[in-house]
Amino acid sequence: MKRLFLWLCLCLVGLVAWAGEPPRVILIGPPGAGKGTQARYLSEKYHLSHISTGDILRENRKQGTELGQKAAAYMDSGKLVPDDLIVSMVAEKLEGDGGFVLDGFPRSEAQAVLLDTMLAKAGHPINSVILLEVKDNDLVERLSLRRSCPTCQRTYHLKSNPPKKEGLCDVDGTALIQRPDDKEDVIRNRLRVYHEQTEPVLRHYATAPGVVKIDGQLGIEEVQRRVDEALGAPVAP
């Protein structure tokens, strides 16, 4: 009873704190660390705008836009798409003063500097940076067994997070696909690119307020609980 009362008090304090600034979150981590899975959870739970550069690029490819055509060869070989194409795409999505969760951006030190400048101008700096850590070998296994919905972008894993009906998305019933960059040789290239070009972003934010590292090898629900904690949201005991 005493524990429940304490938790309710914490909820109240948490909600009052939350009423001030909306969460502006960067989710960072290697390919397959669970950024998309956690970003979708956060955006649904806290009504944040989910900005996934990978999803925007894939949508552009599906629509056959100029951006999509320019990005295709980079994506299929696991390389980063050039910064100028990415930054203007994100700038559009960051307009307004609501909360957001960035998934897959920034991915190079240059992108991080440009993001800081854009947000400083708008007076809405990042207030949470969450790093999901997973070992490379586990990522290869995770990504080879990932299946994605081409309609809503939700991801599944054939062993740890299978769809309710085999081969079909739980949300919209679309036939699930394997992403072309989820082949082993491309996955290994994406991991190499992450270590070389994205790890410097971690150093960039090392002293920023609200930086938290989370063990991304824990189960999806435990990672969600820790992500909630990292945001200072009230968490059940």
Q: Nearest 5°: phi and psi at 139?
A: -70, -35
What is the residue whose two structure tokens read 């990522």?
Answer: 139
Sign of CA dihedral 127, 90, 84, 186: positive
From the list 58, 142, 190, 226, the catalytic residue is: 190
Of residues 79 and 183, the one with the C-beta less far from ligand AP5: 79
In the complex, minimum distance from the CB of residue 33 to ligand AP5, in angstroms, rounded to a whole number: 4
Strand partners, 130: 27, 212
From the list 61, 142, 147, 179, the catalytic residue is: 179
In the complex, minimum distance from the CB of residue 232 to ligand AP5, in angstroms, rounded to a whole number: 21
Please list the alpha-helical segments (H only) found in 163-231: 184-193, 199-204, 220-230
In the complex, minimum distance from the CB of residue 34 to ligand AP5, in angstroms, rounded to a whole number: 3
From the list 107, 142, 154, 226, the catalytic residue is: 107
Q: What is the residue type of 134?
A: V
Site string for ligand AP5, 21-50 (x = CB under 6 A): --------x-xxxxxxx-------------
Among 24, 190, 204, 226, interactor with ligand AP5 by CB under 6 A = 190
Would you say 38 and 27 are in contact if contact means Cβ atoms under 8 Å apart? yes
Sign of CA dihedral 224, 48, 39, 29: negative
Site string for ligand AP5, 112-141 (x = CB under 6 A): ------------------------------
- Check binding of 78 to ligand AP5 (CB under 6 A): yes
Strand locations in 48-199 (E)? 49-52, 100-103, 128-133, 146-148, 155-157
What is the residue whose two structure tokens read 């296994």?
Answer: 141
User: Which residues contact ligand AP5 (rule: CB under 6 A)?
Assistant: 29, 31-37, 53-54, 57, 74-75, 78-81, 86, 104-105, 107, 111, 142, 146, 155-157, 160-161, 181, 190, 216, 218-220, 223
